[in-house]
A and B are shown apart, each in its own frame.
Chain A
Protein backbone atom coordinates (compact mmCIF):
# COMPACT_ATOMS: atom_id res chain seq x y z
CA UNK A 1 0.00 0.00 0.00
CA UNK A 2 2.70 2.36 -0.98
CA UNK A 3 1.53 5.87 -1.61
CA UNK A 4 3.40 8.24 -3.87
CA UNK A 5 4.96 11.18 -2.15
CA UNK A 6 6.37 14.41 -3.45
CA UNK A 7 8.67 16.46 -1.26
CA UNK A 8 10.09 19.87 -1.98
CA UNK A 9 12.96 20.92 0.28
CA UNK A 10 15.70 23.28 -0.90
CA UNK A 11 18.95 21.33 -1.39
CA UNK A 12 21.09 24.12 0.01
CA UNK A 13 20.39 26.79 2.55
CA UNK A 14 22.30 29.37 4.56
CA UNK A 15 22.56 28.80 8.28
CA UNK A 16 19.58 30.36 10.04
CA UNK A 17 17.62 30.79 6.85
CA UNK A 18 13.89 30.05 6.95
CA UNK A 19 13.11 27.46 4.29
CA UNK A 20 9.75 26.40 2.96
CA UNK A 21 8.92 22.70 2.86
CA UNK A 22 6.17 21.40 0.60
CA UNK A 23 4.79 17.88 0.89
CA UNK A 24 2.24 15.97 -1.12
CA UNK A 25 1.07 12.38 -0.73
CA UNK A 26 -1.34 10.40 -2.87
CA UNK A 27 -4.29 9.29 -0.75
CA UNK A 28 -8.06 9.25 -1.33
CA UNK A 29 -8.90 10.64 2.14
CA UNK A 30 -12.25 8.82 2.05
CA UNK A 31 -14.43 10.72 4.51
CA UNK A 32 -16.79 7.96 5.62
CA UNK A 33 -19.74 10.26 4.94
CA UNK A 34 -20.33 9.09 1.39
CA UNK A 35 -22.35 6.18 0.01
CA UNK A 36 -21.63 3.94 -2.96
CA UNK A 37 -24.07 3.37 -5.87
CA UNK A 38 -26.14 0.86 -3.90
CA UNK A 39 -26.43 3.16 -0.90
CA UNK A 40 -23.92 1.37 1.29
CA UNK A 41 -21.75 3.74 3.36
CA UNK A 42 -18.10 3.84 2.28
CA UNK A 43 -15.93 3.33 5.38
CA UNK A 44 -13.59 6.09 6.50
CA UNK A 45 -10.02 5.85 5.29
CA UNK A 46 -7.96 8.97 5.96
CA UNK A 47 -4.49 10.01 6.98
CA UNK A 48 -4.77 11.12 10.59
CA UNK A 49 -1.29 12.30 11.39
CA UNK A 50 1.72 13.88 9.73
CA UNK A 51 5.04 14.39 11.48
CA UNK A 52 8.21 16.05 10.21
CA UNK A 53 11.57 15.57 11.95
CA UNK A 54 14.83 17.43 11.33
CA UNK A 55 17.79 15.22 12.29
CA UNK A 56 15.51 13.31 14.63
CA UNK A 57 13.97 16.34 16.31
CA UNK A 58 10.26 16.90 15.67
CA UNK A 59 9.73 20.29 14.06
CA UNK A 60 6.19 20.02 12.75
CA UNK A 61 3.18 17.90 13.63
CA UNK A 62 -0.28 17.94 12.14
CA UNK A 63 -3.49 16.10 12.98
CA UNK A 64 -5.59 15.72 9.85
CA UNK A 65 -9.34 15.22 9.67
CA UNK A 66 -11.88 14.35 6.96
CA UNK A 67 -11.97 17.98 5.86
CA UNK A 68 -8.50 17.70 4.31
CA UNK A 69 -8.81 17.28 0.55
CA UNK A 70 -7.71 14.10 -1.24
CA UNK A 71 -3.95 13.87 -1.80
CA UNK A 72 -3.02 15.97 1.25
CA UNK A 73 -0.75 18.87 0.37
CA UNK A 74 0.89 20.58 3.31
CA UNK A 75 3.41 23.38 3.31
CA UNK A 76 5.21 24.79 6.33
CA UNK A 77 8.51 26.40 7.30
CA UNK A 78 11.58 25.61 9.30
CA UNK A 79 14.90 27.21 10.20
CA UNK A 80 17.87 25.57 8.45
CA UNK A 81 20.08 24.88 11.46
CA UNK A 82 22.50 22.20 10.25
CA UNK A 83 23.08 19.81 7.37
CA UNK A 84 21.18 16.57 7.62
CA UNK A 85 18.00 14.75 6.90
CA UNK A 86 14.46 16.01 7.06
CA UNK A 87 12.15 13.01 7.47
CA UNK A 88 8.42 12.87 6.96
CA UNK A 89 5.92 10.32 8.21
CA UNK A 90 2.24 9.98 7.46
CA UNK A 91 0.03 7.56 9.41
CA UNK A 92 -3.64 6.84 9.03
CA UNK A 93 -6.60 4.47 9.12
CA UNK A 94 -6.27 0.76 8.33
CA UNK A 95 -2.62 0.72 9.40
CA UNK A 96 -1.55 3.21 6.75
CA UNK A 97 2.01 4.37 7.16
CA UNK A 98 4.34 6.06 4.72
CA UNK A 99 7.75 7.61 5.16
CA UNK A 100 9.89 9.88 3.04
CA UNK A 101 12.99 11.97 3.58
CA UNK A 102 15.06 14.71 2.01
CA UNK A 103 18.64 15.89 2.46
CA UNK A 104 19.54 19.47 3.17
CA UNK A 105 23.00 21.04 3.08
CA UNK A 106 23.50 24.05 5.32
CA UNK A 107 26.48 26.31 4.70
Chain B
Protein backbone atom coordinates (compact mmCIF):
# COMPACT_ATOMS: atom_id res chain seq x y z
CA UNK B 1 0.00 0.00 0.00
CA UNK B 2 2.86 2.28 0.86
CA UNK B 3 4.79 1.79 -2.33
CA UNK B 4 2.15 3.11 -4.83
CA UNK B 5 1.55 6.19 -2.64
CA UNK B 6 5.21 7.00 -2.63
CA UNK B 7 5.32 6.68 -6.40
CA UNK B 8 2.32 8.98 -6.74
CA UNK B 9 3.98 11.51 -4.48
CA UNK B 10 7.17 11.33 -6.47
CA UNK B 11 5.18 11.71 -9.68
CA UNK B 12 3.31 14.78 -8.36
CA UNK B 13 6.45 16.50 -7.13
CA UNK B 14 8.14 15.84 -10.47
CA UNK B 15 5.18 17.38 -12.33
CA UNK B 16 5.17 20.40 -9.99
CA UNK B 17 8.90 20.82 -10.48
CA UNK B 18 8.55 20.70 -14.27
CA UNK B 19 5.73 23.25 -14.07
CA UNK B 20 7.90 25.64 -12.09
CA UNK B 21 10.64 25.26 -14.67
CA UNK B 22 8.23 26.07 -17.49
CA UNK B 23 7.11 29.30 -15.82
CA UNK B 24 9.92 31.30 -17.39
CA UNK B 25 8.64 34.71 -18.44
CA UNK B 26 9.17 35.72 -22.05
CA UNK B 27 10.76 38.97 -23.27
CA UNK B 28 13.02 39.33 -20.25
CA UNK B 29 16.73 39.71 -20.16
CA UNK B 30 17.94 36.55 -18.50
CA UNK B 31 21.24 36.41 -16.64
CA UNK B 32 22.66 34.93 -19.87
CA UNK B 33 21.70 37.95 -21.93
CA UNK B 34 23.18 40.16 -19.19
CA UNK B 35 26.39 38.16 -19.37
CA UNK B 36 26.36 38.61 -23.13
CA UNK B 37 25.78 42.36 -22.78
CA UNK B 38 28.74 42.55 -20.38
CA UNK B 39 30.83 40.51 -22.84
CA UNK B 40 29.95 42.97 -25.61
CA UNK B 41 31.08 45.85 -23.40
CA UNK B 42 34.28 44.41 -21.97
CA UNK B 43 35.35 42.08 -24.78
CA UNK B 44 37.97 39.64 -23.54
CA UNK B 45 39.08 41.80 -20.63
CA UNK B 46 38.92 40.57 -17.06
CA UNK B 47 36.40 42.34 -14.83
CA UNK B 48 37.47 42.84 -11.23
CA UNK B 49 35.25 43.96 -8.35
CA UNK B 50 36.11 47.31 -6.74
CA UNK B 51 36.91 50.98 -7.46
CA UNK B 52 33.37 51.61 -8.72
CA UNK B 53 30.41 52.23 -6.44
CA UNK B 54 26.82 51.73 -7.57
CA UNK B 55 24.21 53.30 -5.35
CA UNK B 56 20.61 52.12 -5.51
CA UNK B 57 17.98 51.86 -2.78
CA UNK B 58 17.78 48.22 -1.55
CA UNK B 59 13.96 48.28 -1.45
CA UNK B 60 12.00 50.08 -4.14
CA UNK B 61 8.25 50.61 -4.13
CA UNK B 62 7.89 51.77 -7.73
CA UNK B 63 10.24 50.42 -10.38
CA UNK B 64 9.28 53.15 -12.87
CA UNK B 65 11.69 55.66 -11.39
CA UNK B 66 14.59 54.53 -9.28
CA UNK B 67 17.31 57.02 -8.40
CA UNK B 68 20.69 55.59 -9.22
CA UNK B 69 24.17 57.00 -8.88
CA UNK B 70 27.51 55.59 -9.92
CA UNK B 71 30.87 56.88 -8.81
CA UNK B 72 34.40 55.71 -9.51
CA UNK B 73 37.52 56.41 -7.51
CA UNK B 74 39.87 58.01 -9.96
CA UNK B 75 42.13 61.08 -10.09
CA UNK B 76 40.65 61.85 -13.58
CA UNK B 77 43.93 63.04 -15.04
CA UNK B 78 44.96 62.67 -18.68
CA UNK B 79 47.08 59.65 -17.72
CA UNK B 80 44.66 57.94 -15.36
CA UNK B 81 40.95 58.47 -15.85
CA UNK B 82 37.67 56.68 -16.29
CA UNK B 83 36.85 56.19 -19.97
CA UNK B 84 33.36 54.78 -19.66
CA UNK B 85 30.67 53.70 -17.22
CA UNK B 86 28.05 51.11 -18.13
CA UNK B 87 25.06 49.83 -16.18
CA UNK B 88 23.32 46.54 -16.98
CA UNK B 89 20.42 44.69 -15.39
CA UNK B 90 19.60 41.03 -15.01
CA UNK B 91 15.85 40.90 -15.60
CA UNK B 92 14.75 43.99 -17.49
CA UNK B 93 13.40 43.16 -20.98
CA UNK B 94 16.64 44.59 -22.35
CA UNK B 95 19.85 44.36 -20.30
CA UNK B 96 21.47 47.75 -21.04
CA UNK B 97 20.52 50.75 -18.92
CA UNK B 98 23.03 53.47 -19.76
CA UNK B 99 26.51 53.78 -21.25
CA UNK B 100 28.47 56.91 -20.50
CA UNK B 101 31.72 58.17 -22.00
CA UNK B 102 33.93 60.29 -19.77
CA UNK B 103 37.33 61.88 -20.01
CA UNK B 104 39.79 63.93 -17.96
CA UNK B 105 37.54 66.97 -18.54
CA UNK B 106 34.94 65.42 -16.23
CA UNK B 107 37.02 66.15 -13.12
CA UNK B 108 35.05 63.65 -11.14
CA UNK B 109 33.70 60.28 -12.30
CA UNK B 110 30.28 60.52 -10.75
CA UNK B 111 26.94 60.35 -12.55
CA UNK B 112 23.35 59.96 -11.46
CA UNK B 113 20.09 59.34 -13.24
CA UNK B 114 16.71 57.69 -12.78
CA UNK B 115 16.15 54.22 -14.12
CA UNK B 116 13.37 51.66 -14.63
CA UNK B 117 13.52 48.25 -13.04
CA UNK B 118 11.05 45.56 -14.14
CA UNK B 119 11.61 43.09 -11.35
CA UNK B 120 13.50 42.23 -8.20
CA UNK B 121 16.99 41.70 -9.55
CA UNK B 122 20.70 42.39 -9.56
CA UNK B 123 22.04 45.55 -11.21
CA UNK B 124 25.68 45.68 -12.27
CA UNK B 125 27.79 48.77 -12.95
CA UNK B 126 31.01 48.47 -14.94
CA UNK B 127 33.72 51.01 -15.55
CA UNK B 128 36.54 51.10 -18.06
CA UNK B 129 39.72 52.86 -17.02
CA UNK B 130 42.18 54.56 -19.34
CA UNK B 131 44.65 51.70 -18.80
CA UNK B 132 42.07 49.28 -20.24
CA UNK B 133 41.10 47.60 -16.98
CA UNK B 134 37.47 46.93 -16.07
CA UNK B 135 35.94 47.16 -12.62
CA UNK B 136 32.45 46.33 -11.43
CA UNK B 137 30.00 46.63 -8.57
CA UNK B 138 26.64 44.98 -8.11
CA UNK B 139 23.56 45.74 -6.05
CA UNK B 140 20.52 43.56 -5.33
CA UNK B 141 17.28 45.52 -5.50
CA UNK B 142 13.86 44.37 -4.31
CA UNK B 143 11.02 45.85 -6.38
CA UNK B 144 7.42 45.96 -5.15
CA UNK B 145 5.86 47.33 -8.34
CA UNK B 146 7.82 46.64 -11.51
CA UNK B 147 8.14 48.97 -14.49
CA UNK B 148 7.33 48.21 -18.14
CA UNK B 149 4.61 45.67 -17.48
CA UNK B 150 1.76 47.92 -16.41
CA UNK B 151 -0.73 49.10 -18.99
CA UNK B 152 -0.64 52.83 -19.66
CA UNK B 153 -3.26 54.95 -17.93
Listed in ascending order, the chain A residues whose CB lies under 8 Å from chain B are 18-19, 31, 33-37, 42, 54, 57, 59-70, 72-79, 81
Contact = CB atoms under 8 A, between A and B. Distances in A.
Contacts, number: 103
A67 B116 contact: yes
B115 A68 contact: yes
A contact patch SS:
strand
Contact of A69 (B92, B105, B108, B115): B115
- Chain B, interface residues (CB within 8 Å), range: 35 or more
A37 B105 CA distance: 47
B100 to A, nearest CB: 5
Nearest to A39: B151
B12 interface: no
Nearest to B71: A77
Contacts of A34: 148-152
Contact of B114 (A19, A59, A69): A69
B55 interface: no
